[in-house]
Structure 1
Amino acid sequence: MATDSRDIEKEAEDEQAHFRNVVTAFQHYAPYTLTRNNRRRKDIFTLPREDQAILDQLDYKRKLSEIDDAILANAAFLNQIVANPEIFENNSGEDEEEEFLKARMAAGRRSAGEPVVVPSAQRILTARPGDSRPALHDHDHHDSHEHGHSHPHGLNSHPDQANPRRKHRPTDFDMDKVRSTLKQLVRDWSEEGMDEREASYRPMKESLLEHFSDIPAQESRSSSRHNFHVLIPGAGLGRLAYDVAKLGFTCQGNEFSHYMLLASYFILNRTKQVRQHTIYPYVHSLSNLPNRAAMLKRVHIPDVLPSELPSGSNFSLVAGDFEEVYGQPDGEVDPNDLSSGKWDAVLTCFFIDTAKNIVNYLRIIHRILAPGGIWINLGPLLWHFEENTSDPSVELDLEEVKALAARLGFEIKNERTIDTTYVNNKDSMLGYVYHAAFWTATKKL
């Protein structure tokens, strides 16, 4: 069935409007957050004078000033991220509708790492080691206990989408995403986040290496890991995908969130040295803090220099919804779809519970895996759309998910539970621990 050109035009317009709103949210971080902090000052003056005097003795006002300084430092960093958001700009004078149609045709039928210039909904961005301007390198997280990958709460989640040309005023939801981005940067690209990465990423990488233990890291180009293609949906800020590429595999990440895509592009392509940037990710809430130092903790990013991938590495990120980029519309079978059976491994970390329809998620993973290919999963089942009344949602328990996987043609092995945190402040008086399900699964021959 042909797609109505007006629908394509509207979708492209909505996409660009949503992107502009995300950029606006980054830009409004400082005034929004400073206003929230200033409210604390106003609250002091609602207290009796005797209580105000006691707070003065505790140097409470000075703490608020220190928070202001940290907010301004964060804002300076965030403004760098969106100073030149060229990854989502149109790169030609083509008619937008024609460009969008070409993007739809290109999605899902490209070799890993092949740089395809498409609009922001399905844009390929690739990182190339040793290049000071690495071509086009090219989930989310609330301040609550929910884990990341702000998956399709949809472009229509903001009222301004009804009128894309209307000036957007960032909402609490928008600013929560910006704050979450700072915490995600800690998880993926700092020494501070190493413990979380070790708990989640290490067992996945070890299982990947074990599955391909007979493949040398480097020998000839015809008999090395370079020829094995790994896909990581819900790649967030790209660290797991980067690590897999560093092991020698051809690796592609996929991410939906513009917040994540902008930040990952900046870190992967605009970073010149280790620990180049300093952020203060824990200044947004004064709850459950043992002391002032825990709130004002500096975090330096990145802990590695992303451009120092080994020579010949093949690493890319694809922007877009997982089902749209790698699925087939309306269940159709496209004989020209080269993504079917193309991926030797799929790694899903804190991802599968972002599904509206978990059946389709697993069906796509099974279809795109090569025969005998491996699916490595780690994460909880915090179904992202369970409380969203505007979207359908299917919520299965863990046993049902595994039974579904078996029915679709997976053989699950190496099951265990891994306790891990997610964007956790180690110095906080409160922390959430996920009893995450881990398994490897092979596509039955």
Structure 2
Amino acid sequence: MDESVPMDEQEDLLADPEERRVLHAAFDSFRQYRRAAHYNVTHLRRQSFYALPAAQVERLSSPPFSLPKTFDAIDNAIDSNADIAEAIVKETMPNFGIDPTDDSWKGQATRNDFDKARSTIRQIYRDWSAEGLPERHACFSPIMAALETYLPAASPAQRHFSRVLVPGAGLGRLVFDICLAGYSVEGTEISYHQVLASQYLINYTDRAREHTLYPWALSFSNHQTRDNQLRGVKIPDIHPGTALDKAHQELGLDVHYGDRMSMSSGDFCVVYRQPDCRGVFDAVVTCFFIDTAPNVIHYIETVKHCLRSSGVWINLGPLLWHFESTLTPAERDKARGRTKVAANEFEGIAEPGSFELSNEEVISLVEQYGFEMVEQTEASATGYIQDPTSMLQNVYRPAFWVARKK
């Protein structure tokens, strides 16, 4: 994609040793995706398989089982996924001023980083494949309709006057779709894994359907058939640059998309509580996001801070509180990928203390912090990176609400 669609450059990140470590670990985990997946997914399984009695190995090596051939096919799928992971590293590393030939960034990934790399590659299915459209539609359609309702414009060409913020932007598809509709939109994401992948998908893919992703290949459970496990999808489903150029022409937009869309890394509660963010957005959109907070009050206060008077908060998602399990402070720091900042400095998501609320209680809390609830309903049931052919189906029934800042 043309670089006229910029992502915020992170030139000062390397000055902070902890940020540098986290960023290097993210790059390293993508670099090692191929080796780690081959070892954990197929190598160890081959060891277990050939430890069986000889007669059982022979039976399971023959049709219709042919497990050795299955392992080979999984290895091929891993290689295809790894091509995506390595493209992310190659194309995005220069944005951060890192010399790929300098080995100081290598070998820093932890088990947690490998898990994040693996889940990020799999999440591309939801955000950037045609097969992931049903999940996107269930979540994005109510949000897009609400933007039209609560940020009315005389024409699509005038939507750029409305500024929209998307915290927890993930792989950037919702940010992209909001920009595609003509709005000025800014996304932020705390996970470097997600930021790097979104940069690659939006800025650096050359064409639609450039890669083949095997989202279900690395798990052997709950498959009706082996073909389901080995099913590939083409990504991205559209070429972002081409789609944005087309929308720019068809909608007669006055402002180029390069000036209407940005995405950066950072803790939402730290970045958007700054004085220069006070009252600058017409809408804040949170999708499958607010339950990532150990203390949702910090999210509420930050949304209120950065919304203009009468601005709207559009929320859709469940309440799978990410920090519900009891962790020590050190374990929480490790899980968040950050270390403690200087004393008397606000730590955002890393602030101590946590609690979990019901949906009814969340709505009451939002109202108590100066919002008027103008719409609330239950959104369509949906999975989240859910294999539609799997024998196990996890289904969310997300809440949807719109609150206006008083």
Quickly name the TM-score band, shorter chain normalised.
0.7 to 0.9
Match of 2:67 among 47, 60, 65: 60
- 1:13 aligned to which of 14, 17, 38: 17
CA distance in 2, matches of 1:423, 1:403: 30
Work out whether residues 179 and 281 of structure 1, in 8 Å CA contact, stay in contact via their aligned partners in 2.
no
Residue identity matched to 2:270:
E
- CA distance in structure 1 between the partners assigned to 2:161 and 2:230 by the alignment: 45
Cα pair distance change 1:434/1:9, threshold 3 Å:
closer
| Equivalent-residue separation in structure 2 for 1:9 and 1:302 (angstroms) | 29
1:437 aligns with 2:403: no
Q: 1:33 corresponds to which residue?
A: 37
- Cα pair 1:217 1:248 within 8 Å, conserved: yes
Against the structure 1 CA distance between its residues 405 and 11, is the aligned structure 2 distance closer, same or farther, given a 3 Å change threshold? farther
SS in 2 for 1:434: coil
Aligned to 2:376: 415
Equivalent in the alignment of 2:117: 178
* Residue 44 of structure 1: aligned partner: 49
Q: Tell me what 2:265 maps to.
A: 319
Contact 2:159 2:183 in 1 (8 A): yes
- SS across alignment from 1:193: helix
Structure 1 residue 374: deviation in Å?
0.9
Q: Does 1:192 align with 2:131?
A: yes
Map of 1:301-312 to 2, 5 A cutoff? 301-308=235-242, 309=244, 310-311=247-248, 312=256
3-state SS in 2 of match to 1:230: strand
How high is the TM-score relative to the length of structure 2? 0.83
Residue 339 in 1 paired to residue 300 in 2? no
Q: Is the 8 A contact 2:25 2:110 kept in 1?
A: no
Deviation for aligned residue 1:359: 0.8
AA aligned to 2:303 is: I
Q: Number of aligned pairs? A: 352
Mapped to 2, the partners of 1:416 and 1:389 lie a distance apart of 36
Is 1:215 aligned with 2:154?
Answer: yes
Contact 2:14–2:20 (8 Å) recurs in 1 = no
More deviation, 234-243/172-181 = 172-181
Mapping of residues 100-179 of structure 1, within 5 Å: 168=107, 170-179=109-118
Pick the aligned partner of 2:143 from 204, 224, 246: 204
Separation (CA, whole Å) in 2 of partners of 1:354 and 1:232: 14
Once residues 189 and 83 of structure 1 are traced to their aligned partners in structure 2, the CA distance between those partners, rounded to angstroms, is: 20
Separation in structure 2 between the aligned mates of residue 31 and residue 318 of structure 1, nearest angstrom: 29
SS in 1 for 2:142: helix
Cα deviation, residue 372, structure 1: 1.1
Identity of aligned residues (%): 38
Change (3 A) 1:406 1:193: same
How far apart are 1:10 and its partner, in Å? 10
Cα distance, 1:167 vs structure 2 = 6.1
Does the residue aligned with 2:294 lie in a helix, a strand or coil?
coil
Letter in structure 2 aligned against 1:21: A
| 2: CA distance, partners of 1:87 / 1:357 | 33
Q: Deviations over 1:182-215 (max 9, x none)?
A: 2211111110110000000111111111112343
Task: State the match for 1:428 in structure 2.
Answer: 390
* Alignment partners' CA distance in 2, 1:210 and 1:27: 44
- Give the 3-state SS of the residue equivalent to 2:404 in structure 1: strand
Does the Cα contact within 8 Å between 1:22 and 1:259 map onto a contact in 2? yes
State how far apart, in whole Å, the 2-side matches of 1:281 and 1:436 are: 23
Q: TM-score, normalised by structure 1?
A: 0.76
Q: What's the counterpart of residue 379 of structure 1?
A: 317
Separation of aligned partners in 2, 1:318 and 1:45? 48
The alignment partner of 1:52 has SS state of helix
Displacement of 1:177 in angstroms is 0.9
**Does structure 1 residue 81 correspond to structure 2 residue 81?**
no
Distance 1:70 1:226, change over 3 A: same
